[in-house]
Amino acid sequence: MPPWCCEALSCEDKVPQLLCRSKWGTEPPSPSFLIPPQSEFRLGVRFYTEEQPAAAILHLEKALEEYFVADAECRALCEGPYDYEGYNYLEYNADLFQAITDHYMQVLSCKQGCVTELASQPGREKPVEDFLPSHFNYLQFAYYNNGNYEKAIECTKTYLLFFPNDEVMNQNLAYYTAVLGENLAGPIQPREEIQAYRQRSLMEKELLFFSYDVFGIPFVDPDTWTPEEVIPKRLREKQKVERETAARISEEIGNLMKEIETLVEEKAKESADMSKFIREGGPLVYEGASVTMNSKTLNGSQRVVVDGVLSAEECQELQRLTNAAASAGDGYRGKTSPHTPSETFYGVTVLKALKLGQEGKVPLQSAYLYYNVTEKVRHMMESYFRLEVPLHFSYSHLVCRTAIDEKQEGRSDNSHEVHVDNCILNAEALVCVKEPPAYTFRDYRRRFSHSVAVPWASPPVPRTPTG
């Protein structure tokens, strides 16, 4: 997650500052690093779109200088003590070589993550994709418009370091070379600092992918430009299978959603009472799960609290998924604090998690776990309530609540008051009518709670010159 956002809650709602301090060593990041250095970049893009190439060049070159200063600071902040992720240090048991490997891989992974940190901005959904290469995409055309073909060729060749097969950029290079002349264009080389940056990044990626392949230490590559040969063959084949599986699951979910819409329409036309099909007290099917409260103790009907559905490791895996995938106000119509001003709510759906996994932005195993847990609960409810009709998927939402530090003093409100959201409650008549504007109609619900951070959106593709 971005360095300006510290994880406030774990699965068991631990002390907020603990995880933040362990990430950065003994002190939090300095104020100069709390906001990514993107103001110069945005100014450069603005002047670029306003067809002011000289001003665009000035700010984009300044943005590059600031980028490498911030990158160096971000990488330095990764050189801290090993982060045990909460209280995992109590169970951590490794020999010297394993401990060195774990720590070194964590430092390298953190340094690779600086790419995402510097491309992110609070309040934006996603980081800027290919943030560093995009500087040279803008610069090559700005220099062309400014009549500086030497610099245009330099920036074009620098961009091609990251994307050597980019058809449009290769056409641009051919055009610039033809205008300037082969004898003058040939000796021009990509920028040395970018060549060094790319080489260092590839060496780190090789180690991280090797560690992923041999030791099973997960690594999600933040860059789209990484050459395929950097990834071990066995790992490439595994990732290919995972992407194909994720694509198939996404397609199945899409088809399932269409079926659900049809079933909901049919259900609205039926007058049969669902309660006559329900007989509470069936087996929970899965080992380790146990009923802690039933309908009688919960003072209602068709209610149950089950413990042991998730292991501690699965809970932590879902927490890591929310840190990478959830969005503020998701599922609450964009309201980041829908129930109390003292807490911020984030959320992510199964479909979004699977798509991010397919794109390589979160580990696929985390997205699979989220999907499998929802299916597990569905089967458990079918069995426990002895349903004679299938219980269909309607909506799953991984929700996280984060305490807002400055709004905790003297707090007397409930964290999440009891409320109904699938019917309109008439307290005087003691009835709850299922009609708009109530939320999705559903017969059973399940909930998860974690904490997250949010990133920013990708830039527009710049215009390219024509011959």
Cβ neighbours of 260 (radius 10 Å): 16
State whether 181 and 286 are in the same domain.
no
DSSP for 161-213? HH-TT-HHHHHHHHHHHHHH-HHHHTT----HHHHHHHHHHHHHHHHHHHHHH
Domain boundary among 197, 231, 265: 231
CA angle 56, 57, 59 (to 5 degrees): 70
CA angle 209, 214, 220 (to 5 degrees): 30
Q: CA 325 to CA 70: how far, in whole Å?
A: 24
State whether 262 and 383 are in the same domain.
yes
Half-sphere exposure of 396 (CA within 13 A, CB side): 23
State whether 398 and 355 are in the same domain.
yes
pTM score, whole prediction: 0.48
Over residues 174-194, mean pLDDT: 91
The tens digit of pLDDT for each residue in 131-144 reads: 999 999 999 999 99
- Please report whether residue 8 resides in a domain: no
Q: What pLDDT score does 436 carry?
A: 59
Q: What pLDDT score does 446 carry?
A: 55
Q: What pLDDT score does 442 carry?
A: 56
Structure token pair of residue 171: 């056409």
Q: What pLDDT score does 87 carry?
A: 54
Place of tokens 């062309």: 144
- Please report whether residue 444 resides in a domain: no
State whether 116 and 227 are in the same domain.
yes
- Please report whether residue 211 resides in a domain: yes
Assess whether pLDDT exceeds 50 at residue 454: no
Residues contacting 310, CB < 8 A, separation 6+: 318, 373
Over residues 288-311, mean pLDDT: 84
With cut-offs at 50, 70 and 90, classify the pLDDT of residue 400.
confident
Over residues 338-351, mean pLDDT: 78
- Please report whether residue 297 resides in a domain: yes
With cut-offs at 50, 70 and 90, classify the pLDDT of residue 64.
very high
Domain boundary among 169, 198, 231: 231
**Preceding amide of 437 cis, omega within 30:** yes
State whether 90 and 201 are in the same domain.
yes
Assess whether pLDDT exceeds 70 at residue 273: no
State whether 341 and 210 are in the same domain.
no
Assess whether pLDDT exceeds 80 at residue 365: yes
Q: What pLDDT score does 65 carry?
A: 93
Q: Which domain holds residue 358?
A: 241-406+419-433
Over residues 277-292, mean pLDDT: 80
- Please report whether residue 453 resides in a domain: no
State whether 213 and 314 are in the same domain.
no
- Please report whether residue 464 resides in a domain: no
With cut-offs at 50, 70 and 90, classify the pLDDT of residue 19.
very low
Q: What pLDDT score does 163 carry?
A: 94
Count of domains forming the chain? 2
State whether 131 and 265 are in the same domain.
no
**Which of these ranges, 10-24, 311-325, 391-405, 407-421, has the smallest mean pLDDT?**
10-24
Between the CA of residue 104 and those of 80, 81, 219, what are the distances in Å? 10, 10, 13
- Please report whether residue 439 resides in a domain: no
Assess whether pLDDT exceeds 60 at residue 356: yes
Domain boundary among 231, 266, 294: 231
Q: Cα-flanking dihedrals φ and ψ of residue 329, to 5°?
A: 75, 0
Portion of the chain with pLDDT greater than 70, in percent: 74
Q: What is the mean pLDDT of the chain?
A: 76
Q: CA 26 to CA 20: how far, in whole Å?
A: 9
Assess whether pLDDT exceeds 80 at residue 26: no
Place of tokens 């959904």: 125
Surface-to-core class of residue 249, CB atoms within 10 Å of its CB (0-12 exposed, 13-18 middle, 19+ buried):
buried
Q: CA 79 to CA 71: how far, in whole Å?
A: 13
State whether 253 and 289 are in the same domain.
yes
The tens digit of pLDDT for each residue in 28-49 reads: 343 344 345 688 898 999 999 9
Residues contacting 453, CB < 8 A, separation 6+: 1, 2, 5, 7, 323
State whether 64 and 203 are in the same domain.
yes
Over residues 83-88, mean pLDDT: 63
State whether 167 and 148 are in the same domain.
yes
Q: Nearest to residue 365, comparing CAs of 314, 422, 402?
A: 314
State whether 98 and 131 are in the same domain.
yes
The tens digit of pLDDT for each residue in 301-343 reads: 778 888 888 888 888 888 888 888 777 766 666 667 766 777 8
Q: What pLDDT score does 25 carry?
A: 40
Cα dihedral: 104, 105, 108, 114 (round 10) = -130
Over residues 89-112, mean pLDDT: 77
What 3 state SS string does 341-389 have? CCEEEEEEEHHHHHHHHHCCCCCHHHHHHHHHHHHHHHHHHHHHCCCCC
With cut-offs at 50, 70 and 90, classify the pLDDT of residue 432.
confident
- Please report whether residue 207 resides in a domain: yes
